[in-house]
Amino acid sequence: MNIQSLKNLFRGIYGQHDTEPVVFFAPGRVNLIGEHTDYNGGFVLPCALTFGTYLLIRKNNGKVIRMASSNFDYSAEISLTSVQDKRPGKWYNYPLGVINQLIERGLKPEGMDLLFSGNIPNSAGLSSSASIEMVTAKALVDMFGLDVDLLEMIKLAKKAENEFIGVNCGIMDMFAVGAGKKNQALFLNCDTLDYELIPLELGDYKIVIANTNKSRGLADSKYNERVAECSAAVRQLSKHKKITQLGELTYQEFVDLSHHIPEITVRKRAKHVISENQRVLDAVTALKKGNLALFGKLMNASHNSLRHDYEVTGNELDVMVEEARQCEGVLGARMTGAGFGGCAVALVKADAVEKFISRVGERYQEKTGLQPLFYVSEAGDGVRKIG
């Protein structure tokens, strides 16, 4: 991303000023394994990406917050007296939700101009929303000298998504976007928020993200339905073992207790969460031992569980993963993100990446009619000020 071009765009929108805008950046994230475990108090293993969202910000000495994006045609001019009001269907609800959380923590709203520019595909499952939320939080905390540390920023960004946007997401996306580090995966306990950075030493292999270009609006998907199904499982299991989240159970404990869940669908949802939790633990061990073959097998098992037990993949993701697995040099492939469209992630031998993109892309398009996009990913650093 050309920062000078963004500054020129900023001036074109908001006019010349003696004060230069300050530039902040928050990455997207890809989850390597551990899907739909975060809001169940389980384990996840994401990493931050090297592409994400840029935010240019400057105080304007007025009584309005002005927001624009290089990615969308429409912008906003919001009175300081109405920042608490949600604008249905507008992208700037994400920064507004964060601003409202910061007001609760001592932010006194001032007039300011904000320009967002991102290169994360929207609705692809790579956390474009969390990236916007975290870059907004970091910028305002720095600009206004608020006593809010990184962990509190992560928590308030999650709260903004839950309460202002209306998506019952967990904390993984914000955590990876905030605390990610270059060439490392983030092993996070979503219950305690304890985390460990795991060296992502892939040797001759690359992480390839495959965008199905089948978009899904997360708030309008069946995501909230899955949250409710998991809550139902907890209510039924807690009558026989004291738990508040599915992530508290080992897989063997679930096997012993699962007959207490009468609804087959709810039982399948719980089975996925608890088995996926164990797969994350096994994946961390595999990475520490340099056993990439095992890591790939765990990725495959993860997708199979998401497809059959959690039922969040859909035709496009299944086709993408099936075609990826048939390519030479692929250790494993799975959907990543909430599902219902979005992206898959594969572990591909470096010298096979070009052929992988060509072959999988061609076959996927033949079967779905959609043209996919591919990104060769590296683990990058989390949210930060860059200029």
* Residues taking part in catalysis: 173
CA neighbor of 220 nearest in space, from 341, 349, 323, 71: 341
> What's at 245, amino acid-wise?
Q
Tokens of 183: 């060439």
Give kind and range of the element (H or E) at residue 231: helix 223-237
Token duo for residue 115: 């320009």
Q: Give the integer Cα–Cα distance in Å for 172 and 165.
A: 17
Distances (CA, A) of 205 to 72, 241, 377: 36, 43, 11
Cα distances from 302 to residues 28, 208, 334, 345, in angstroms, run 21, 17, 7, 12
Paired strand residues for 118: 53
Write down the residue that tokens 């709810």 correspond to: 266
CB 33 within 8 A of CB 280: yes
For residue 164, the 8-state DSSP code is I
Cβ burial 318-345 (10 Å sphere, 16+ → b, else e)? bbbbbbbbebebbbbbbbbbbbbbbbbb
| Cα–Cα distance measured from residue 70 to residue 260, given in angstroms and rounded to the nearest whole number | 52
For residues 91 and 69, what is the distance between their CA atoms, to the nearest angstrom?
A: 9
Strand stretches in the chain, DSSP E: 22-33, 43-59, 64-69, 76-79, 112-118, 184-189, 195-199, 205-211, 330-336, 343-349, 373-377, 384-385
